[in-house]
Amino acid sequence: MTTRTIQNIDYFKIMDEVTKDIYYGRDQEWYKTKWQRLSGCGPTVVSNIIYYLNCITSDNKAEGSITTKDESISHMEEIWRYVTPTMQGIPNTSLLCKGIQKYIKEQNVKLELEVLDIPKKRTQRPEFGKVFEFIDRALNSDSPVAFLNLHNGSEKLLDSWHWVTIVSLEYENDGSFAWIEILDEGKIKKINLAGWYQTTSLGGGFVRFIRMKYPIKGLI
């Protein structure tokens, strides 16, 4: 069995300054408006990943330091300006990437994107081995993966029509076994990726971030 994981999961730890509760990753429920809370999974995931990549390319992240909920919300709002949901949310990888590319251009960020789509039609889908290889390559480079699930199939811990952040992967090379850990709702959840691939009726997609070379000022 092969295991891949990001190197610094604790960079995702967030503390609520009032309650002192600790979360892993941002939660779209932290957005201010009802519409943002309903549709904000895409920008939340992008905010997660951009923040993490900035941490690992910056000398400003003190060991053991934890970002606050208020700081996280501020960054989520900034990302929303670029990765802005439509009336259908962000229902495909191309729309997510379009928003990220706007951010990259305006912020002069050294970052590239790669996509693997899982079409609704099963005969058009890539082999399952290509799916976990795509995720493996990103995690092996210490980069989380944005995962769009349009239909959760047999996976009860996944919400349909929803983006989440992949932070680890376990798999057998023959594809008989593949599990991922995701960040969602401020928690770490474990999902049967093989089960999702086999039972989703609408598919989804994955976006891999090729690490930026320079940190973004003001994020940590």
All structural domains of the chain with their residue ranges: 1-214
Residue 26 CB contacts under 8 Å (≥ 6 apart), including other chains: 14, 44, 47, 48, 72, 73, 75, 76, 186
Where do the DSSP E strands lie in the chain? 2-5, 13-15, 22-24, 67-68, 112-118, 145-149, 162-171, 178-184, 187-192, 204-210
pLDDT digits (tens, 9 = 90+) for 88-100: 999 999 999 999 9
pLDDT digits (tens, 9 = 90+) for 157-167: 999 999 999 99
In the predicted structure, residue 220 carries a pLDDT above the cut 50: no
- Domain 1-214, second-level architecture: Alpha-Beta Complex (3.90)
Between CA 17 and CA 21 the distance in angstroms is 8
Joined together, the tokens standing for residue 170 give 């376990």
The whole model's pTM is what? 0.93
Q: What pLDDT, on a 0 to 100 scale, did the predictor assign at position 1?
A: 85
pLDDT grade, residue 128 (50/70/90)?
very high
Contact 5, 139 (CB under 8 A): yes
Lowest mean pLDDT among 25-39, 106-120, 175-189, 201-215: 201-215
